[in-house]
Structure 1
Amino acid sequence: MSSSSSSLTLIGVDFSSAPTARKPIRLAIGRRQGAVVRLESQRALTSLTDYAAWLAEPAAPGQRWVGGFDLPFGHSRELVTTLGWPTEWAPLMAHYAALSREQIRDTFAAFCAARPVGKKFAHRVCDGPAGASPSMKWVNPPVAFMMHAGVPPMIQAGVSLPGLHAGDPDRVALEAYPGLLARELIGSRSYKSDDKAKQTPERLIARKDLIDALEQGRSRLGLRLKLSHAQRDELADDGSGDKLDAVLCLLQAAWASEQPQYGMPADADPLEGWIVSTPHAAGGSA
């Protein structure tokens, strides 16, 4: 936030809890100059080992990065207190990392089974305004497993998670959510599917409309995306939407990089965390 934009690399991360060569973790890397965010490069990480190694790479002298990561960084306080888990973020993450995915699934399934219809899941304060799935959800999408796979390597690599965990100030990770920005620009239209049979012309048109809106700067973030013709075609042609989701996270990171406290509300819960650029009453519209 205090460094010049020329020395700041911005990164958007479309995360997978089980990356492969066919479905990698996608990185969109760029820089901001004023209200323009230029996509400079894209990168694919095909394993969690590669992801951890990338996080651990030290920032070059005089350089720093701010990244928007599409995975939850915290659980709801209601869930944590009900389960009797640690109510401080670092001990909670250590406890969570020690669980197997099967233990997580069984624990959360039992939690939901004991609750009334319509209130099965416990939500964070930011989930509703962001339109995000509860971070305890283990299927469709499995964000609970994404946190389990994605956050511990951040801690081990010494990355800073503002509001949650102090680390290297030159490597800053923020929780992003591409659906928040996409819905602002194209409403509830679907623009992606991992199922090739569902990668329809309608979804292609939706991706093109979303890209056009980003390039024209039509969101409340006040930023315009700068793409080459080849980049524009590449984003539109990716029917999974993963490359475009990484770019949406890149724009959210770019917005946050110029905001006090990365745009987080002063009263954000230090256990739950916050999805960057989510509207909140204390700070106006964003």
Structure 2
Amino acid sequence: MTQAALVGCDFSSSPTRRKPIVLATGHADAGRVVLDRLVALDSLPAFAAWLAQPGPWIGGFDFPFGLPRELVEHLGWPVSWRECIQHYAGLTRAEIRETFAAFCAARPAGNKFANRRFDRQAGSSPSMKWVNPPVAYMLHAAVPLLLAAGVHMPGLHEGDPNRVALEAYPGLLARELIARRSYKSDERSKHTPERLIARKDILTALEAGRTRLDLRLKLTNAQRDTLVHDASGDSLDAVLCLVQAAWAARIGPPSWGLPEELDPLEGWIVSA
């Protein structure tokens, strides 16, 4: 039987050559996660084409797979996951922004956004947030492509068992390693020595296996240099998602490490 490839994905809802979707591909080897290569995809069609390739692979993808149940029910949208995603995919970004802004405007300060059940414990942004970061647009761009590609999304959608897609969140693992220290920025003026040191500290901890996921990352010297010197953090985020995918792969089907109480509309972040 062919060993499944492992994949971590740092996603952009409007990818370009300068700001591509980054995939970290690798494999498991005796308790280690070996990074094989980094792949840059500069368009959504390129991402769709990659998803359509035959497996086996298990991937952790850094974008939300579902919307908050509270929001969906308030708006009167379909409460079955597939129908909800299809409805959402039919909206424009302007319609999403207007709808979500109106929802937030009617709510008290400090509780503007609806959250999924696990967002606060994972430290993730509400999946309805359309700015800083625009995860609502990431969901809108990416999840319909997962659906169209026929991949398996445990707890949400039965698909090809040789292509398993899980929602990952690099910030969850990064915070375990360096707490609230910042390690990345898309702004050149914020490419500071402190952030570079933080990226080095994350990689040192991952290579030593100092996480609750109990996996050690294996890198070449050249790969480590690439990850350290990518000040945007996109390559490192893809690798953090790769490690989360490896943890899920070690547990395997049917749960892939997801909890029994997973809401089949909202989904769950792997290892949260």
Q: Normalising TM by the smaller chain, what interval?
A: over 0.9
Q: Which amino acid aligns with 1:36?
A: R
Structure 1 runs, 4 residues or longer, greater than 3 Å off: none
Partner of 1:31: 27
Cα distance in 2 for residues equivalent to 1:96 and 1:20: 24
> In structure 2, which of residues 243, 260, 263 is the aligned counterpart of residue 269 of structure 1?
263
Deviation at 1:33, TM superposition (A): 1.6
SS of equivalent residue, structure 1 residue 262: coil
Partner of 1:89: 81
- The Cα RMSD (Å) is 0.8
Partner of 1:195: 187
Partner of 1:183: 175
Q: Which amino acid aligns with 1:271?
A: L
Partner of 2:124: 132
Partner of 1:238: 230
Q: Which amino acid aligns with 2:36?
A: E
Deviation at 1:34, TM superposition (A): 2.6
Q: Which amino acid aligns with 2:270?
A: V
> In structure 2, which of residues 109, 115, 118 is the aligned counterpart of residue 123 of structure 1?
115
Matched, 1:114 2:94: no
Cα distance in 2 for residues equivalent to 1:21 and 1:107: 31
SS of equivalent residue, structure 1 residue 275: coil
- The count of aligned residue pairs is 270
1:90-111 CA distances to partner (integer Å, 9 max, x unpaired)?
A: 0000000000000000000000
SS of equivalent residue, structure 1 residue 29: strand
Partner of 2:53: 57
Deviation at 1:8, TM superposition (A): 1.1
Deviation at 1:126, TM superposition (A): 1.2
Cα distance in 2 for residues equivalent to 1:181 and 1:66: 18
Cα distance in 2 for residues equivalent to 1:8 and 1:232: 24
User: Gapped runs of 5+ residues in structure 1?
Assistant: 279-286
Cα distance in 1 for residues equivalent to 2:53 and 2:34: 23
Partner of 1:208: 200
SS of equivalent residue, structure 1 residue 39: strand
Identical amino acids, percent of aligned pairs: 64
Cα distance in 1 for residues equivalent to 2:107 and 2:230: 39
1:201-253 CA distances to partner (integer Å, 9 max, x unpaired)?
A: 00000000010000000000000000000000100000000000000000000
Cα distance in 2 for residues equivalent to 1:258 and 1:216: 18
SS of equivalent residue, structure 1 residue 44: strand
Cα distance in 1 for residues equivalent to 2:14 and 2:235: 17
Cα distance in 1 for residues equivalent to 2:256 and 2:3: 17
Q: Which amino acid aligns with 1:7?
A: Q
Partner of 1:282: none
SS of equivalent residue, structure 1 residue 269: coil
Cα distance in 2 for residues equivalent to 1:86 and 1:210: 41
User: Gapped runs of 5+ residues in structure 2?
Assistant: none
Partner of 1:228: 220
1:184-204 CA distances to partner (integer Å, 9 max, x unpaired)?
A: 000000000000110100000
> In structure 2, which of residues 137, 142, 145 is the aligned counterpart of residue 150 of structure 1?
142
Cα distance in 2 for residues equivalent to 1:276 and 1:212: 22
Deviation at 1:35, TM superposition (A): 1.3
Cα distance in 2 for residues equivalent to 1:208 and 1:7: 30
1:27-64 CA distances to partner (integer Å, 9 max, x unpaired)?
A: 000001231000011100000010111111122xxxx1
SS of equivalent residue, structure 1 residue 235: helix
Partner of 1:162: 154
Query: How high is the TM-score relative to the length of structure 1?
Result: 0.93
Query: How high is the TM-score relative to the length of structure 2?
Result: 0.98
Q: Which amino acid aligns with 1:32?
A: A
Q: Which amino acid aligns with 1:25?
A: I
